[in-house]
């Protein structure tokens, strides 16, 4: 029977996600110091939350009654681009997670756990490698999130100026 022993000092809400990622590991798993897989899980949760907020706001923004208007076409295009960016990030995060788990399992098998200085050093190196690999993908993904936000801001400014025109210049905000 496979066993995973996980010691988490904080954020117990991520316990099931982390344990499920390691179910195929035939060794005890300890969290000490910088844990790259834990970092990846937290990054994934944060980025997906940002994505979902932007996606919902974009879907709920009203582009007008004419589906063929430039604003509606741009809205659909932004939603498709956002989905494609999320899909690409999902693929990358899955590959990175497999790599991290494999390297951590090898390190544990070689050094026996966090009490060993070489194991701790290897985990810190893996943490740095993970950060280095994540940064360009996160920058690109956040750029994809910025475009819909800009689009929605421009839509709001257009609606606000239209309302001001109807009200004779009275400020709405």
Angle of CA points 9, 14, 15, to nearest 5°: 70
**Percent of the chain at pLDDT exceeding 90:** 2
Q: Which is more confidently placed, 81 or 108?
A: 81
Say yes or no to pLDDT of 110 above 80: yes
Contact assessment for residue 149 and residue 54, using Cβ atoms and an 8 Å cutoff: yes
- Rounded to whole angstroms, how far apart are CA atoms 1 and 77? 49
Contact assessment for residue 18 and residue 109, using Cβ atoms and an 8 Å cutoff: no
Task: Report the chain's mean pLDDT, rounded to a whole number.
Answer: 73
Contact assessment for residue 100 and residue 40, using Cβ atoms and an 8 Å cutoff: yes
Q: What is the pLDDT of residues 40-81, one digit of tens each?
A: 887 888 888 889 998 998 888 777 677 788 888 888 899 999
pLDDT at position 11: 43
Q: Kindly give the residue spans of alpha helices, DSSP state H, lying in the chain.
A: 15-21, 36-60, 70-111, 117-166
Q: What is the pLDDT of residues 13-26, one digit of tens each?
A: 344 444 444 444 44
- Rounded to whole angstroms, how far apart are CA atoms 133 and 96? 8
Residue 156 binned pLDDT confidence (cut-offs 50, 70, 90): low
Distance of CA 87 to the CA centre of its chain: 11
pLDDT at position 124: 82
Average pLDDT over residues 106-119: 80
Residue 157 binned pLDDT confidence (cut-offs 50, 70, 90): low
Average pLDDT over residues 81-88: 90
């Amino acid at each position: 029977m496979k066993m995973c022993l996980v010691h988490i000092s904080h954020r117990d809400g991520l316990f099931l996600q982390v344990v499920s990622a390691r179910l195929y590991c035939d060794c005890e798993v300890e969290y000490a110091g910088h844990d790259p897989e834990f970092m990846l899980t937290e990054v994934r949760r944060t980025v997906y939350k940002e994505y979902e907020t932007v996606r919902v706001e974009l879907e709920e923004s009203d582009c007008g009654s004419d589906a063929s208007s430039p604003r509606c076409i741009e809205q659909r295009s932004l939603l498709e681009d956002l989905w494609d960016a999320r899909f690409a990030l999902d693929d990358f995060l899955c590959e990175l997670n497999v790599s991290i788990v494999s390297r951590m399992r090898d390190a544990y098998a070689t050094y026996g756990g966090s009490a060993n200085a070489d194991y701790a050093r290897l985990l810190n190196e893996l943490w740095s490698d993970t950060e280095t690999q994540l940064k360009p993908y996160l920058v690109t993904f956040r750029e994809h999130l910025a475009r819909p936000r800009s689009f929605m801001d421009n839509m709001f400014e257009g609606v606000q100026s239209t309302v001001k025109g109807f009200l004779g210049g009275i400020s709405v905000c």
